[in-house]
Amino acid sequence: MKDEKKAPKLRFKGFTDDWEQCKLGDVADRVTTKNKGMVSELPLTISAQDGLISQDEFFNKKVASKDLSSYLLLHHGDFAYNKSYSNGYPFGTIKRLEKYPQGVVSSLYIAFKPNSSISSDFMAQYYESNNWHKEIYKCAAEGARNHGLLNIPPSDFFATNLNIPITKSEQLKIGRLLNAVDHTFTLHEEKKCLLERLKSALSQEMFANKNGYPAVRFEGFDKAWKQSKLGEITKVIAAKPYISTPSTHGNYLVIQQGDKPIAGFSNSNPFKNYNNITLFGDHTLSLFKPRSPFLVASDGIKILSPSIEMNGLFYFYELEKYKPKSEGYKRHFTILKKCKANFPTDIDEQKLIGSLLLRIDNLITKQQLKMDKLNETKESLLQNMFI
């Protein structure tokens, strides 16, 4: 190992030694074992978010060839480098096999396993950072791209440098801390998924079917619901002026159509009556329920205010069966307002349904905020605990 006088910005108390620089080949051994005899029939792929994951789970199908004997056989704890570059991952992805006892990957991957010189958890977290990118850049700097792959020979890959703590105990502490952050994130993610499933199930059962009665109701309500056209109980509110070029900073959100509704921010005079309205993307069928005063980015956003008290019918509009289908060049809201559906006649039942779903939605939002904060914490730790 070649000694360099280096240390990260953030360290555990009691560790003052400079870190060492070494070659990947000094602390890891290449895995070249083929899947002869079909030891494993589980083809894997690398996902930047989910790590080494089965192709069935990731693609909902196998994309590997039927004969897996030429694939590399990985065991739990082995690493694989996918040299495919993509948006956000210009140098590919390196992940450790954690979900399964074993599996197989394409021979286009470079596989390896750490030796006793390095903590496996430390190595896994190191490759979650961007610190290794500069070494891959050196290997691939000379126009080395081929059909979506970085043209990096295994010999060059194992010659890349990385900096590690001299003491194994410091490596272990770093790995355990970052693993704990990952575990906490996973728990919040699972809770969010459960809340989303609960919301979806309630939304499906708490709105009446054609017979005028919902499958699930609050106690004390038994009247049949009334059928109405959505256009009869919803009106469009004007929201001018539109903010065509929102800023990156400001007191109020600017809303646009699509999967990413937050276009930016503005300090202009906002639309303040947001409690019982739904924003509807007239061209994209996108929905957004504002939580604070806001502005909109174009006249393609319809601000809908209902005459009933179910949080702007937001949760009703979310149901797939009520989303309008395109009819030539007609705007979607023109179609939507003709749709017929049943609604409760009792205002107290309207309020209870809306408040319950809104409460679940708020819990989902809180979980997402916790996950965002953990992501920021993890990113900061990765930037400051490695060199």
**For 67-76, 137-146, 293-302, which range has the lowest pLDDT when averaged over its residues?**
137-146
207 φ, ψ to 5°?
-105, 135
Classified as helix, coil or strand, 256 is coil
The predicted model gives 116-126 an average pLDDT of 97
Structure tokens belonging to residue 94:
């390196």
Predicted local confidence at residue 275, as pLDDT:
82
Partnered with residue 279 across adjacent β-strands are 288, 303
The predicted model gives 175-193 an average pLDDT of 97
- How does residue 285 score in pLDDT terms, banded at 50, 70 and 90? confident
- Indicate whether 146 pLDDT > 80: no
Predicted local confidence at residue 86, as pLDDT:
77
The predicted model gives 338-367 an average pLDDT of 90
> Which residues 6+ apart lie within 8 Å of 366 measured at CB?
none
- Measured CA to CA, the distance from residue 222 to residue 259 in angstroms comes to 38
The predicted model gives 78-91 an average pLDDT of 89
The helix or strand, by DSSP H or E, that contains position 232, with its residue range, turns out to be: helix 230-233
Predicted local confidence at residue 209, as pLDDT:
79
Percent above pLDDT 90 for the chain:
58
Structure tokens belonging to residue 208:
């009446």
DSSP per-residue letters across 75-140: ETT-EEEE-B-BTTBTT-EEEE--SSSEEEE-TTSEEEEE-TTS-HHHHHHHTTSSTTHHHHHHHH
The predicted model gives 341-346 an average pLDDT of 88
Predicted local confidence at residue 314, as pLDDT:
76
- Indicate whether 2 pLDDT > 70: no
Average pLDDT over the chain, rounded to whole?
88
CB 313 within 8 A of CB 283: no
Predicted local confidence at residue 323, as pLDDT:
63
- How does residue 50 score in pLDDT terms, banded at 50, 70 and 90? confident
- Measured CA to CA, the distance from residue 103 to residue 74 in angstroms comes to 5
Predicted local confidence at residue 163, as pLDDT:
96
Domains, the chain: 2-166 (3.90.220.20), 169-221+344-387 (1.10.287.1120), 226-343 (3.90.220.20)
- Measured CA to CA, the distance from residue 258 to residue 35 in angstroms comes to 45
Amino acid type, 208: A
- How does residue 147 score in pLDDT terms, banded at 50, 70 and 90? low
- Indicate whether 321 pLDDT > 90: no
Structure tokens belonging to residue 66:
């039927």
Predicted local confidence at residue 84, as pLDDT:
86
Within a 10 A sphere around the Cβ of 273, how many other Cβ atoms? 11
